[in-house]
Amino acid sequence: MDYSNIRVYAKHLQPPSVIHQACIGDWTRRYNGLGNDLEQESAQVDVVLGKVRRRFVADETDSESRPTGTLNLLHEQPVFGTIKDIKALHCNFEPEGEINLGTSMEIDQLADHPRLGYLPKGASPTVLVVTSDSGVLSFLTFHYEESIPGAAEHGSFHVLKEIVIAEPGFDYSQAGAKIAIDPTSRIMAISALQNLIKLVIIRNTKKSQFDPVERISEIDIKGTIIGMDFLTPEPKDKTDVAILAVLFHNKDTSKYHIATFHIGLQNRLTSPLSIQVGTSQLVTNPLKSVVLLKALPNIPRSMVYIDEEKITLVTVEAPTDSGTTNISRHTHHSPLQLLKRESSEVPSEGVTSLSIGDVYPLISACATPPPSPYAASDQTLYLGSDTSELYRVNIQHLTYTMQFELVTGDKPVGNMMQVLARRQFTTQSLFSEMSQDIVLNTDYLIYSSDYGDSGILGIKEEEEGIDLFAITELQNSSPILDFCVREPLLPGRDSLYACSGMKGEGAVRRVRYGISVESSGNSGNDFFSGATGLWSVKENRKNTFDSFLVVSFIQSTKVMRIEDGVKEGTLALGQISSGASSLIVLELAKETAVVGDQFLTHSLKTIATRSLKAEPTTIHCWAQDPSFEESMEGDVNLSDFYCCVGTLEPAVLVFQIATDDIREIYTESLSQTGFESVTIPHSICILRSRDGRGKVVVGLRDGSVVVYEWNRPCKEDASPALRVLSSPRLFKIGIRPVKCVFSDNVLSRTLILSDDLWLANFDLNLEIKPVLFDSEVTQACSFESRDDNQLSKPGFVFIVDHHDIQLVTFEGAAKYNHQALVLGQTPRRILDITSKELLLVASVGDGFPFAESTLHLIDPDRVSTEAGAEKQHIVAEFALKQGEAVYCLAEWKIPRPNKSDAVYICIGTGLFSPTGSEVSAAAPKTGRLVVLSVKQSKKADRKSRKFELDLRWAMAMPAPVFAVSTFMDM
């Protein structure tokens, strides 16, 4: 074989400082011959980070001070090959007998140094357990070399015991991939990547004859092992049982499962292990990967698993019959949806951007604080993603409910995260009338990052929230994460492209064969985040040196033409937080609300609020005429106002709005409808037929539409004879989230957006038909246009490909005319102000959230294609705050006696922190409800009138306002 034409491209992490494992212990404790009498400094912990060991000292905190701490490098030592996992094992020791080691001088010399089978009597009882590609399970300790001058603050790791558990290398079926240790340190589990778990029985041992392993047993698992952990047993069972939970994927069934093994420990040293098994299939979308399993140390017999969209709590019941298997039942509680991320990047001019649907951050690591000293208490869980989000989840141990908090949005987390320490402090409550002290916590969290610096964060609880503090960083100096060649069939004539992943210094580098290295695309300038992967893509294999470079970044993927000038189209993943879990109804005060054209600032008041079990995703309200349906004699109709809410559960809820109350009259869990695949509601609207029947249309995030019959309740003090929503029908129209487009009145038709356009018509029977349109539509609104004879024609306004606006008028079932509108900025939301025959467009400038959002008022009658008149249809503008994103627009008509309706525009926003100095830099945590009016001059000629957007009222909201709905007439 001729090897002369073979070229090998290699990559190297320089320096290889990405951290993949970490554990904490007390290896630097010094006894000085006093045994356990000498206590380690309470605020100090030792941290082993895979290849280096550091000492972290957390300073004491109080209610006023900023958390601080130091991380000092003590030692770095190559031990063996690539480390797979590291855990800390606490050993229990037997009393020492007489040891015949020779002379007293030999005893003193030997006692100072750990070695195989020997641990010095002054050493810490905590040892490191390490697996690597050597196939060996190693027990290590850390020892100070005090006899060496200048080594008082240094030391080294020593091997105490080695056990061969696998063949060298990375065979999937060989043990060593993951380690889990029982909280009482009496049993240890070591898994392979597939099919096998080894159980290592731990016994008491002597330091002078260190051998803590009694024997090793095996468990067969049919599938790929995703994760495993030991659960906390009930206090009464703590000495008798260990509970191992294993998350695995069965390739034959393509399903995820959890298996729990109740392992009897009483006779573990003298008899075969007594193991009782329970299994359950995960309640998750089979197309979504399950990525993590984590035990909850504060809640006995509990764990969470995390997939691509949600986190689910699982509790395990105690076995009921020791003589059988599969008797341990698992309870999967209601999941908590992860916070959705929203596309927010703007494609470059002239480049078409592909659309993406709703996505969720992929959780890469999780961590829990040290166990609480109490038998059962609430649990804190930290979740990190490689797309910069860090969350804190609070889990109630009595109700098994979970709540999300976004800690920060600019910390990409790798596959390692751990709470180093938790410090408590007391402070007086600000919300209690009595002088009362409350206990709060500060957690010190260490995290790794494959694409940037690792670090330690201080997360300090406050009575009304949390504060985030950066303690220190562990530098990761731009490792090369991936590479590709442009033309692999032309060795010696091609360039090598490599990408580095440091968030602040990341770049794409071109290595010209034997000539030079060129760097471009610094993340701080053009590409926003470090690059993590490269591919070369060709339209035609025969076209030499005509290819695209596909670069995956932390928060986006970019396609670049490889030429002197770089052009890019972006598929961007922004981040958006969930709205408040409540429904709020505001009303206009009846007296002196509108005086002439003046809208008083105190005119709005909250008349009712309603807590929701899950975060709302969409809201639609309508008012129904009592004469519209037949009423029974003597019956008093319920309130004519209704509100339909979609939530993350996923579920659809219907509320009746009374004078001072919000009453839930119906709940439909979409997961129990019997359909094969149903996901979260994305939009809701109601249709009315000619004969008065109603249909509720629910668009889902997976490209499906569920249509219900609307059955209005008739009696307040009795349950309705029919379900409010009944006879659901499922229509699959695409794979992207479904948006419903409707006017401000309930009509018989609505436009539906998904992969394509669809028109739903309910004149007599419901029909959903496709509309042929040659461009992707991302937003739309309904409007009425007029021809030269002043005849009204139904139409829609489209936002096409995220950056163009088209006015479309339907001429028939499948015919339409369309006309482009020039805006100058990127449109995000659009509204038809029907009473004014105007359009309102919310747009953002380049570089949002550093740029302002702008509202543009458009008169469709002034659209012109003449030179110099491209923007004459923009008749008014209104600038919002910097970093304020518009999420929803609604027209609000308020009746006035003997006058035309007062018309206002309701705007729901979310406030970012464009400076990046606050926690809300990556996702809005607050918002505003803004009310505007449209002023116009009284000229007879409409095209000569002047318009103005006037701010009437604005209210700060504790969370972003994602949905606003006024009551539409039905």
Mean pLDDT value across residues 235-243: 80
Q: Which residue has the higher pLDDT, 682 or 922?
A: 682
Q: Which residue has the higher pLDDT, 759 or 218?
A: 218
Q: Which of 109-123, 217-231, 485-499 has the highest mean pLDDT?
A: 217-231
Between CA 573 and CA 557 the distance in angstroms is 9
What mean pLDDT value characterizes the chain? 71
> pLDDT category, 595, cuts 50, 70, 90?
very low
**Amino acid 516: pLDDT:** 47
**Amino acid 534: pLDDT:** 64
Mean pLDDT value across residues 826-840: 76
488-510: b (≥16 Cβ within 10 Å) or e? eeeeeebbbbbbbbbbebbbbbb
- Does residue 72 have a pLDDT over 50? yes
Mean pLDDT value across residues 104-109: 46
Indicate the DSSP class of residue 93.
B
Q: Do the strands 402-408 and 390-395 form a parallel or antiparallel pair, or are they unpaired?
A: antiparallel
Indicate the DSSP class of residue 526.
I
Report the Cα 36 to chain-centroid distance in Å. 45
**Comparing 591-600, 684-693, 779-788, which segment has the lowest mean pLDDT?**
591-600
Between CA 517 and CA 663 the distance in angstroms is 67
Helix H, strand E, coil C: the string for 856-896 is EEECHHHCCCCCCCCCCCEEEEEEEEECEEEEEEEEEEEEE
- Does residue 631 have a pLDDT over 50? no
**Amino acid 20: pLDDT:** 72
Between CA 241 and CA 223 the distance in angstroms is 25
Both tokens assigned to 729: 């029908």
Q: pLDDT tens across 872-887, in order?
A: 778 888 988 877 888 8
Establish how many alpha carbons lie within 13 A of residue 890's alpha carbon, considering only the half-sphere containing its beta carbon: 23
- Does residue 303 have a pLDDT over 90? yes
For 551, phi then psi, to 5°, come to -120, 125
E strand segments, 650-743: 651-657, 662-669, 681-688, 694-700, 704-710, 725-732, 739-741
Q: What DSSP assignment string belongs to 806-851?
A: EEEEESSSS-EEEEEE--SSEEEEEEEETTTTEEEEEEE-TTTTSS
**Amino acid 349: pLDDT:** 38
Which of 652, 743, 735 is CA-nearest to residue 698? 652
> pLDDT category, 29, cuts 50, 70, 90?
low
**Amino acid 655: pLDDT:** 83
Q: Which of 200-209, 591-600, 661-670, 762-771 has the highest mean pLDDT?
A: 200-209
Which of 762, 699, 756 is CA-nearest to residue 731? 699
Q: Which residue has the higher pLDDT, 770 or 256?
A: 256
Starting at the edge strand found earlier in the chain, the sheet holding 44-49 runs: 23-25, 44-49, 52-58, 69-76
894: left (phi over 0), alpha (psi -120 to 50) or beta: beta
Both tokens assigned to 955: 């209210």
**Is the peptide bond prior to 183 cis by the omega test (within 30 degrees of 0)?**
no
Q: What number of other Cβ atoms are within 10 A of residue 407's Cβ?
A: 19
Angle at 889 between CA 884 and CA 893, to 5 degrees: 135
Mean pLDDT value across residues 732-740: 81
Q: Which residue has the higher pLDDT, 471 or 597?
A: 471
**Amino acid 951: pLDDT:** 87
- Does residue 870 have a pLDDT over 70? no
**Amino acid 12: pLDDT:** 36
Between CA 316 and CA 301 the distance in angstroms is 5
Q: Which residue has the higher pLDDT, 317 or 26?
A: 317
> pLDDT category, 10, cuts 50, 70, 90?
very low
Q: pLDDT tens across 458-497, in order?
A: 888 887 778 888 888 776 655 566 666 666 555 445 566 6
476 within 8 A of 18, measured Cβ to Cβ: yes
Both tokens assigned to 697: 């249309």
- Does residue 37 have a pLDDT over 60? no
Q: Which amino acid is at 91?
A: C
- What are the residues facing 540 on neighbouring strands? none
Q: Which residue has the higher pLDDT, 967 or 822?
A: 822
Mean pLDDT value across residues 945-966: 79
Q: Helix, strand, coil: what percent of the chain each, to 5?
A: 5, 50, 45
